[in-house]
Amino acid sequence: MTELLLLTGFLGAGKTTLLNRLLEEQTVKTGVIVNEFSQTGVDGQLLKAPRGIDLVELNNGSIFCACIKDNFVDALIQLSDAGLDRLFIEASGLADPASFATILEGIRPHIQQPYHYLGSVCLVDALYFPRYFKLLPALRRQLEYSQAVLINKTDLADEPQLELCRGLIRETAPEAYLCETRYAQVPYDQLVREMARRSSTSRDAQTSSNTEGTRPKTVTLSTMEAITPEQLAQFLQEIAPHTYRIKGFVLTTDGLYLVSGTGLVLTNSPARQWEGQSTTSLVIISSVGLSIVSRVLEAAQKVYATPVNLR
């Protein structure tokens, strides 16, 4: 039997950081499914997975949306025959997991080794969660279907902000285990133990709200031209207010930089371990719909001498 743990949480809440921490603890055969909305996968490159791990990347949509759900089902069936002891699934930031139990029930006749679903861990960004909670229905669903909720990045929020997060969580998922963290620091055994106490509180499956129509506009900027770190900061400052999430790699005159952030909280730092990458590949998830294309192009024209490619 393969233990299965689902990780959900808004864009940039710290799911990949948590997954890396959990993988560091594993001494058994483990698999990972990483899901991203964009066509270009970044999180898979950021995983510090032990050698030999079974890793499947599913991009360009939510695993709970018809757009790539068949690929998700195929991956679950395939990995059931891999002799795994544990499987972690990192869902995309706007995933609505309400239909997950239905998916697991549907694959039951087709899998070699059964899955034991431990439950869902939902990460909450202490700084941005209250702002987006009422705007994005998927975030409520992520809480409703979780057995554990981690308020992450508590070092970035003051006490009134944290209390606002706690209140929304208590109201939406009163039975879930609640833990406050920095850098997603929580032991695997503690999570599993606390979730097991709450397994009987699982909600009945519903239809996921993830559809082609509800997915956010996502663009990937690519170019072989290098810009200065100062130009990179200028570019990010201009587009950040119009985005949910920015992440990826940017070529600069000082070498490759890793860019990651949500809203106005962005970091960009040298990424020497990925220096083999020779092009900029920056994923931008819009909070303003299609207009993000013109905003990104306008900002890029101020720092790049040649046209960038957007797709």
Is the pLDDT at 311 greater than 60? The verdict is: yes
Query: Does an H or E element contain 156, and which?
Result: none
Residue 272 buriedness (CB in 10 A; 0-12 / 13-18 / 19+)? exposed
- Tokens linked to 125: 């960004």
Cα–Cα distance, 12 to 262 (Å, whole number): 6
Positive or negative, the Cα torsion across 165, 173, 210, 18? positive
218-310 and 2-201 share a CATH fold: no
Q: Which two tokens stand for residue 234?
A: 């200028």
The domains of the chain are located at 2-201, 218-310
Q: Work out the average pLDDT over 139-152.
A: 97
Q: Which two structure tokens, joined as six digits, stand for 222?
A: 């690519």
CA distances from 142 to 9, 247, 271, 305 (A): 7, 22, 32, 43
Rounded distance between C-alpha atoms, residue 271 and residue 251, angstroms: 10
Q: How confident is the model at residue 77 (pLDDT cuts 50, 70, 90)?
A: very high
Q: Quick check: 94 and 62 in contact, CB under 8 A?
A: yes
Query: Band of the pLDDT at 274, cuts 50, 70, 90?
Result: low
CA pair distance 198, 217, nearest whole angstrom? 36
28-51 residue pLDDT tens? 999 999 998 776 656 666 666 556
Q: What pLDDT was estimated at residue 283?
A: 94
pLDDT at 200 over 90: no
Helix (H, G, I), strand (E, B) or coil at 159: helix
Rounded mean pLDDT of 145-149? 96
Phi, psi at residue 72, to the nearest 5°?
Answer: -65, -45
pLDDT digits (tens, 9 = 90+) for 95-119: 999 999 999 999 999 998 999 999 9
- Dihedrals phi, psi of 60, to nearest 5 degrees: 70, 40
CATH number of 2-201: 3.40.50.300
276 — pLDDT class (breaks 50, 70, 90): low
- pLDDT single digits (tens) 1-24: 999 999 999 999 999 999 999 999
pLDDT tens figures, 115-134: 999 999 999 999 999 999 98
User: How high is the pLDDT of residue 86?
Assistant: 96
* Beta-bridge partners for 149: 122, 178
**Nearest Cα to Cα of residue 88 among 12, 11, 29, 30:** 30
CA distance 294 to 263: 18
Percent of the chain with pLDDT over 90: 79
Residue 267 has a pLDDT of 83
The pLDDT value recorded for residue 213 is 87
Q: What is the pTM of this model?
A: 0.91
Please give the C-alpha separations between residue 16 and each of 12, 80, 82, 307, in angstroms, as whole numbers.
Answer: 9, 23, 23, 32
Average pLDDT over all residues of the chain: 92
Class of domain 218-310: alpha beta
Residue 52 confidence (pLDDT): 66
Three-class DSSP labels, 260-304: EEECCEEEEEECHHHCCCCCEEEEEEECCHHHHHHHHHHHHHCCC
